[in-house]
């Protein structure tokens, strides 16, 4: 069993000590970061600090040193984002800080994504993502998309203000396994239920699993609307998508 002192990067050690509270998460992260090479720890640390220029530089350096793109993504970028997700869930950081981390992750993914897509790695599943009709907020959805892509999903982004017909057309065109809908407003969240009803009317409901999320959305509301899954945040979204993909 790995110890905290097995992690070379001091900043990562401090993050685990200071911010992680659940024993299983502490153990998992110590095991993870003790296993990964110091260069990946450095990428994760820069991502957690929201330093996009540093992540950009370290990612390029790692690739130049012959480290596989998949390893950089899993052991550097996603590992760092895992700690960011926990801090956000526990309200230790808020959206501006998460956006800065997402910007840093994107800086790294700009190099990683083209390599992975050329390598022909099969995605876990295809996911359609959109903010519902009448809602133009997309920060949460974009964070989910970034985490899903980083976790091996293929994502089709339908953007904001997505009508029921747009969802249905995209289901028919892209044939995803999962549809994800988000809403930030209490005034627009009922449109998720309307979209699910429209899927039933269009006879496409049984073709997809539906997951929903957004600040005002709750598990109860998701259940009432007939969704298959609900995620409280971007981290949970990935877990829900993995569960739905294997269902």
Partner 1 sequence: MNQTSPVKAMTSRERVLAALRREPVDRTPVVNPTSVATVELMDLVDAPFPHANRDAAAMARLAATSYTELGFDSVMPVFSIIQESSALGCKMQWEQKDNWPTVRMSEPIWQDVDDIRIPNDYLSHPDIVCVLDAIRLLRKEFGNDVAIIGKTMGPWSLGYHCFGVEPFLLMSLDDPGKTMQCLERMKEATVQFGLAQIDAGVDALTVPDHATGDLVSGEYYKRFLMDMHSEFVDAIPVPLILHICGRTVDRMDYIAQTGMAAFHFDSKNTPCESKEAVGDRISLVGNINNPETLFSKDPADVRREVIQNLESGIQMVGPECAIPLQTRIENLVEIPKAVRHWHDHHGHSH
Q: Which residues contact 52 (CB under 8 A, 6 or more apart)?
A: 100, 103, 104, 106, 107
Closest CB 217 distance from partner 1, rounded Å = 8
Among 46, 69, 188, 196, binds partner 1 (CB under 8 A): 188
Torsion on CA atoms 80, 81, 83, 89, rounded to nearest 10: 170
Region for 218 from its dihedrals, namely left if φ exceeds 0, alpha if ψ lies in -120 to 50, beta otherwise = beta
Q: Could you give the 3-state DSSP secondary structure of residue 222?
A: helix
243 scored as a contact of partner 1 (CB under 8 A): no
Angle at CA 126, nearest 5°, toward 124 and 161?
140
Greatest Cα pair distance in the chain: 58
The sheet with strand 126-131 has its strands ordered as 154-157, 126-131, 178-182, 209-213, 229-230
Nearer to partner 1, 118 or 220 (CB): 220
Nearer to partner 1, 89 or 242 (CB): 89
Among 34, 70, 139, 156, binds partner 1 (CB under 8 A): 139
Site for partner 1 in 79-138 (CB under 8 A): 91, 94-97, 99-100, 103, 133-138
Site map (CB under 8 A) of partner 1, residues 154-173, x = contact: ------xx------------
Site map (CB under 8 A) of partner 1, residues 17-56, x = contact: ---------------------------------x------
Judged by the rule CB under 8 A, the positions of this chain that interact with partner 1 are 50, 91, 94-97, 99-100, 103, 133-139, 142, 160-161, 184-190, 215-218, 220-221, 224
């Amino acid at each position: 069993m790995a110890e905290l002192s097995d992690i070379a990067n001091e900043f990562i050690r401090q993050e685990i000590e200071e911010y992680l509270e659940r024993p299983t998460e502490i153990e998992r992260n110590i095991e993870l970061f003790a296993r990964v090479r110091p260069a990946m720890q450095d990428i994760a640390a820069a991502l957690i600090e929201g330093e996009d220029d540093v992540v950009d530089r370290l990612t390029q350096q790692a690739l130049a040193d012959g480290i596989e793109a998949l390893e950089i993504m899993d052991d550097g970028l996603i590992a760092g984002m895992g700690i960011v997700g926990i801090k956000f869930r526990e309200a230790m950081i808020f959206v501006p800080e998460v956006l800065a981390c997402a910007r840093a992750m994107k800086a790294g993914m700009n190099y990683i994504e083209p390599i992975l897509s050329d390598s022909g790695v099969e995605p876990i599943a295809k996911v359609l993502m959109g903010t519902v009709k009448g809602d133009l907020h997309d920060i949460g959805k974009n964070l989910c998309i970034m985490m899903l892509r980083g976790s091996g999903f293929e994502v089709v982004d339908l953007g904001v203000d997505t009508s029921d017909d747009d969802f249905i057309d995209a289901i028919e065109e892209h044939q995803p396994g999962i549809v994800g809908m988000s809403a930030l407003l209490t005034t627009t969240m009922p449109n998720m239920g309307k979209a699910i009803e429209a899927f039933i009317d269009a006879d496409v409901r049984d073709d997809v699993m539906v997951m929903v999320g957004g600040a005002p959305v709750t598990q109860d509301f998701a259940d009432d609307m007939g969704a298959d899954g609900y995620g409280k945040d971007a981290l949970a979204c990935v877990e829900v998508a993995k569960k739905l993909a294997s269902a």
